[in-house]
């Protein structure tokens, strides 16, 4: 009678443990949405990409100043090594009635060896260069857009990595929780088996088998706990925060409806994928480079105001020179150099166009692959869900049969083990589905 009561008590423990109260933790509960938001803001690689965008902004702002007048100051301070002599010969300024030649005799003018200075100031406003400057500004705007697309690409990559790491932690937590429940079960089974051994209704080998499984389960628990800590440190690193920050992840969500039209998904990917936008910008940049090179045929024309002031020279040298005029700089003949450079820019345009088509094909293939894998994981999830329901029903039936002494205890334990395996497979399939969903979202260019 005592053996029968102990056996029933063991079965009640066995059936109730999986539905016991979970231990509460004071660690922060980190949702997936919070993790993605933190990572896209604080991740180190994202910050590097953001700084690249800011660099492009500064470069654009700096180049815009080329439209404005340029102020230049040139100063030469030197020590004369030879005398700077001037001689005004007799009558160099003419001969006049009643006066005679001017000057009447040769007049030498000598500058002693002393330090002198020449100060030159110039203000120059570009005119014809405005067209070329505007093309370069547009080119820099394209470079800024390219940096922004690379930032988006980095954010999407980080978001995908966060999702994968998050789901990996979910998977390890779920496995660890199941293992803790199994260890509790083995402890109770070990106690009951020891009682049976004392009552001489169980074999010594049965007791050793239970202890062996308990030791193995505790080793696996330690291994999973270490794996979980490493995964959390890796996720903290992705989030750009201290790797020792403690947190818990929320439960894995159930499946949701998704876009089932592959044509629409590919169309969206062609519009949203950063790789496509980057390839299109490269085509525009190559075309703009070609226009900038062609603009070199236009001569440089500027309005110039100049001021020159010699210092510490002989008094005969004027103290100030000022002038205003037009400055023209034009390379008339270049031996065909610009023609060949322009042709080379045309080849770059063709390369960029070919690269765009290749990138589009790669993206379309990637979307199709991720779409099919998502469908596959969804279908597999349906399969394991049915298996889970079958295992649960088998356990219910065997429990009733055991109460009627129609099955052995070992059969009931095997049914319970089958349900535990079915639950594990369902959890794995659910996590695989969400991982495939994350990859599909990245493939169609979704930012979050």
Instruction: Give the CATH number of the domain where residue 211 resides.
Output: 1.20.1600.10
Task: Report the alpha-carbon distance of residue 209 to residue 352 in Å, rounded.
Answer: 68
Q: What is the pLDDT of residue 345?
A: 93
Q: Which domain holds residue 430?
A: 2-68+129-298+334-443
Q: Which residues pair with 110 in a beta bridge?
A: 85
Residue 90 lies in a domain: no
Q: What is the pLDDT of residue 212?
A: 82
Residue 308 lies in a domain: no
User: Residue 318 carries which DSSP code?
Assistant: -
CB 45 within 8 A of CB 158: yes
Q: What is the pLDDT of residue 58?
A: 96
Q: What is the pLDDT of residue 12?
A: 38
Residue 143 lies in a domain: yes
Q: What is the pLDDT of residue 214?
A: 81
Task: Report the alpha-carbon distance of residue 142 to residue 201 in Å, rounded.
Answer: 83
Sequence-distant contacts of 273-277: CB under 8 A, at least 24 apart: 273/363, 273/443, 273/444, 273/445, 274/149, 274/150, 274/152, 274/153, 274/156, 274/445, 275/153, 275/359, 275/362, 275/363, 276/356, 276/359, 276/360, 276/363, 276/445, 277/145, 277/149, 277/152
Residue 142 lies in a domain: yes
Q: What is the pLDDT along the chain (448 residues), one digit of tens a residue?
A: 334 334 433 443 444 444 333 434 456 888 888 999 999 989 999 999 999 999 999 999 999 999 999 999 999 998 877 777 778 788 787 788 878 888 778 878 777 778 888 999 999 999 999 999 999 999 999 999 999 999 999 999 999 999 989 988 988 887 788 778 778 767 876 777 777 778 776 677 767 877 887 888 889 889 989 999 999 999 999 998 899 999 888 876 665 665 568 899 999 999 999 999 999 999 999 999 999 999 999 999 999 999 999 888 777 778 889 999 999 999 888 899 999 999 999 999 999 999 999 999 999 999 999 999 999 998 998 999 999 899 889 878 877 775 665 666 567 667 777 877 887 788 788 888 888 988 998 899 887 7
Residue 107 lies in a domain: no
Residue with tokens 């779920």: 174
Q: What is the pLDDT of residue 140?
A: 96
Residue 117 lies in a domain: no
Q: What is the pLDDT of residue 21?
A: 36
Q: What is the pLDDT of residue 113?
A: 77
Sequence-distant contacts of 423-427: CB under 8 A, at least 24 apart: 423/178, 423/388, 423/391, 424/174, 424/175, 424/178, 425/384, 425/387, 425/388, 426/381, 426/384, 426/385, 426/387, 426/388, 427/171, 427/174, 427/252
- Domains of the chain: total: 1
Task: Report the alpha-carbon distance of residue 228 to residue 247 in Å, rounded.
Answer: 11
Q: What is the pLDDT of residue 426?
A: 83
Q: Which residues pair with 304 in a beta bridge?
A: 124, 325
């Amino acid at each position: 009678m005592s053996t029968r009561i102990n056996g029933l008590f063991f079965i009640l423990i066995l059936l109730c443990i999986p539905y016991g109260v979970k231990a509460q933790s004071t660690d922060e509960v980190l949702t997936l949405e919070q993790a993605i938001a933190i990572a896209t803001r604080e991740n180190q690689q994202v910050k590097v990409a953001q700084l690249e965008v800011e660099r492009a902004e500064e470069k654009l702002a700096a180049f815009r100043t080329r439209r404005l007048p340029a102020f230049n100051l040139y100063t030469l301070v030197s020590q004369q090594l030879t005398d700077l002599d001037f001689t005004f010969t007799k009558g160099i300024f003419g001969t006049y009635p009643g006066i005679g030649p001017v000057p009447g005799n040769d007049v030498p003018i000598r500058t002693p060896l002393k330090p002198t200075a020449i100060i030159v100031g110039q203000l120059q406003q570009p005119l014809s260069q405005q067209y070329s400057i505007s093309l370069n500004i547009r080119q820099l705007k394209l470079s800024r857009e390219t940096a922004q697309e690379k930032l988006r690409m980095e954010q999407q990559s980080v978001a995908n990595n966060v999702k994968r790491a998050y789901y990996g932690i979910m998977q390890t937590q779920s496995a660890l929780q199941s293992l803790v429940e199994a260890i509790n079960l083995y402890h109770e089974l070990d106690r009951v088996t020891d009682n049976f051994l004392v009552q001489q209704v169980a074999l010594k080998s049965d007791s050793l088998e239970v202890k062996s499984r308990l030791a193995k389960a505790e080793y696996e628990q330690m291994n999973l706990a270490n794996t979980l800590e490493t995964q959390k440190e890796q996720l903290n690193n992705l989030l750009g925060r201290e790797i020792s920050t403690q947190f818990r992840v929320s439960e894995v969500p159930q499946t949701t409806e998704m876009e089932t039209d592959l044509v629409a998904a590919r169309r969206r990917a062609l519009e949203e994928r950063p790789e496509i936008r980057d390839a299109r910008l490269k085509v525009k940049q190559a075309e703009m480079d070609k226009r900038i090179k062609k603009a070199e045929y236009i001569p440089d024309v500027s309005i110039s105001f100049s001021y020159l002031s010699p210092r510490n020279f002989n008094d005969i040298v004027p103290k100030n020179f000022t002038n205003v005029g037009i400055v023209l700089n034009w390379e008339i003949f270049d031996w065909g150099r610009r023609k060949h450079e322009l042709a080379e820019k045309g080849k770059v345009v063709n390369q960029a166009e070919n690269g765009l088509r290749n990138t589009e094909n790669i993206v379309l293939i990637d979307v199709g692959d991720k779409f099919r894998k998502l469908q596959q994981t969804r279908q597999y999830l349906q399969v394991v869900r049915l298996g889970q329901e079958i295992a649960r029903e088998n356990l219910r039936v065997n429990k009733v049969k055991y109460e009627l002494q129609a099955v052995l205890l070992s059969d009931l334990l095997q049914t319970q083990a089958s349900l535990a395996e079915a639950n594990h497979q369902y959890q794995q399939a659910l996590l695989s589905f969400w991982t495939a969903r994350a990859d599909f979202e990245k493939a169609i260019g979704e930012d979050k």
